[in-house]
Chains A and B, each alone.
Chain A
Amino acid sequence: MKGSAPDRTGSSAWRRLLRQLVLVFALPVVLVAVWWVTSAGSQDVYWPPLRTIVEAFWEVWTAERWTGDVLPSVLRLAAGVALAAVVGVALGTVIGSYRRVRAVCEPVLEFLRAVPPPVLVPVIMLFAGIGDTMKIVVIASGCVWPILLNTVEGVRAVDSVMSETARSYGITGVARLRRLVLPSASPQIFAGLRQALSIGIILMVISEMFAASNGLGFTIVQFQRSFAIPDMWTGILLLGLLGFALSVLFRLAERRVLAWYHGLRDATRGSS
């Protein structure tokens, strides 16, 4: 009797894992299979067989293209988002900390964040030309708003008891910012960063579509203009994979940095 108990839990754990794997992979496998089969004999120029696309993928995305197009795109995105994060968090902390500053800035911020970021591309091109600077500034100026506004909200929402605790123990100034305000606002800041990341990818692609000599957006448009349809499809797939990979990376980073927040949320949910 005693020996059978761990066995049973062991096998049920295996069964759970198996079930989990089936649930995760079944539908994607089916979808890819359907695409593969239905497109197999496709004569439609715009919908080449998936087989052709996959074969083209390895020919198109050579090491040279990775370093010449993918890497510059990703670096621009990283630089733009990083710049937006620094500016957004810094300004957001100031605006969030002082009620009057917030009242003064609010209408202007409401307007600026409502401007659809892609229209900034032609505007910023005037100032920054068509080089990397332009792309980074475009990405940063589109990404800064969600980060800034979320930081403002996060800084405003610092708990009053925590704030008084810090004061009563003489934790003020920089220490208060570092130990209380920023950690407390970090869940909101991360929510802003996540929104910023998806806007950043959009801006990365279209700033390269507008004016560039390399990069993912540029390459994909080149394929489209030269009617290299399977190549274009590989570009679309690669962009999709990049979006997915970045969101996974972001989630990993978030889980790590905000481990306390998720734990706290689970703890309060469990008790209520």
Chain B
Amino acid sequence: MRGENAALGAAGLAGFLVLGEVIPRLGLVKQEYFPPVSRIAEALGVEVGDPAFWTALGDTLTGWALGLTIAVVAGIVVGVLLSVVPYLREATASTIEFLRPIPSVALIPLAVLLYGTELRSVLLLVVYAAFWQVLLQVLYGVRDVDPVAEETARSYGLGTWARVRHVMWPSALPYVMTGVRLAAAVALILAITAELVIGAPGLGARIAVAQTSQAVPEMYALVVVTGLLGLLINIGARTVERHALAWHQSVRGEVTV
């Protein structure tokens, strides 16, 4: 069954590529708009040979990784703090509910004015978007801590820090990992958006340049690269998450509130 699925998947992928080749060749769509797969692959080969491409990839990954790290650390620290200090969680709930749905792209003009095309522009957008993903999952995770475990720890006289370390953190960890996975995907989207719209150096900016210079196959090649990057990040994050979940007895569904 596994082997069959893999074969079917490979067939699907092959079919997708063949369609991408045949449809423009038959003239069903204009080749200037949608070049055949072979043209895109060719452009991709040229890109890969260009050192500037690798610089751009490095810039994108730097913005992504740095922004994600800041967001994850901040999300965890704030989440634990809100959960540990009495009343803080309730007092901040409405503020979080208001700030969270604010689209991070609203900050683009501000980022442009403050930082221009610097890395900090990218970081502002990435951190804002990714932070909420982590924070919310931490809060859900802490809420899910078994009250019996919590009370047991309390009755044995464990201090706040020990309780956080030995009770709250292990129970919340799977949620935190989910938060990190969601944040990793969002961070990539926002990093590329910032590059595309603001012009901060990176793959996004390279796509914008390809678009303005009508280099259509190159543009498609870069889009494919961002897709592959997203795919790698998703797979990587899921693997890390599964490892973190492996020791955890309860298999739980993703919290989607």
Contacts and interface: CB of A to CB of B under 8 A. Distances in A.
A–B in direct contact per CB < 8 Å: yes
A247 to B, nearest CB: 4
Given A108-B13, A191-B256, A121 B109 contact: no
A115 B226 contact: yes
Given A27-B92, A108-B12, A239 B193 contact: no
A117 B226 CA distance: 10
A108 B112 CA distance: 36
B8 A119 contact: no
Contacts of B231: 110-111, 114
B12 A114 contact: no
A194 interface: yes
Given A28-B98, A125-B211, A104 B11 contact: yes
A119 B109 contact: no
Given A122-B219, A191-B256, A198-B101, A108 B16 contact: yes
B256 to A, nearest CB: 4
A244 B101 contact: yes
Contacts of B219: 122-123
B94 A118 contact: no
B103 interface: yes
Contacts of A113: 230
Interface string B198-234: 0000001001101100001001101100111111011
Interface string B34-66: 100000000000000000000000000000000
A103 B8 contact: yes
A243 B12 contact: no
Nearest to B12: A104
B33 A126 contact: yes
Interface string A86-113: 0000000000000010011111101111
A239 B138 CA distance: 27
Given A28-B98, A229-B113, A236-B110, A205 B105 contact: yes
Interface string B235-247: 0000000000000
A267 interface: no
Interface in A247-266: 247
Contact of B91 (A27, A108, A112, A201): A27
A111 to B, nearest CB: 5
B114 A46 contact: yes
Contacts of A224: 109, 112-113
Given A106-B9, A108-B12, A202-B193, A122 B103 contact: no
Contacts of A5: none
Interface string A189-215: 001001000110110011001100000
Interface of B is mostly: helix
A25 to B, nearest CB: 7
Interface residues of A, number: 58
B33 A127 contact: yes
Contacts of B226: 115-116, 119
Interface string B108-132: 1110111000000000000000000
Nearest to B87: A23
A155 to B, nearest CB: 16
Contacts of A131: none
A126 B219 CA distance: 11
B91 A23 contact: yes
Interface in A166-224: 187, 191, 194, 198-199, 201-202, 205-206, 209-210, 217, 220-221, 223-224
A106 B4 CA distance: 13
B95 interface: yes
- Greatest chain B CB density within 10 A among A119, A125, A194, A247 is at A119
Contacts of A236: 106-107, 109-110
29 contacts: A26-B91, A106-B12, A110-B234, A111-B231, A114-B185, A114-B227, A114-B229, A114-B231, A116-B192, A119-B196, A122-B210, A123-B220, A127-B29, A127-B33, A187-B256, A191-B256, A198-B101, A198-B103, A202-B103, A202-B189, A206-B196, A209-B197, A220-B109, A224-B112, A235-B106, A235-B109, A236-B107, A240-B103, A244-B98
Interface of A: 23-28, 31, 46, 100, 103-108, 110-123, 125-127, 187, 191, 194, 198-199, 201-202, 205-206, 209-210, 217, 220-221, 223-224, 229, 232, 235-236, 239-240, 243-244, 246-247
Given A23-B94, A127-B33, A240-B106, 19 more contacts: A26-B91, A106-B9, A110-B231, A114-B234, A116-B230, A118-B189, A123-B220, A123-B223, A126-B32, A126-B216, A201-B103, A202-B103, A205-B103, A205-B106, A224-B113, A229-B113, A232-B110, A239-B102, A239-B105
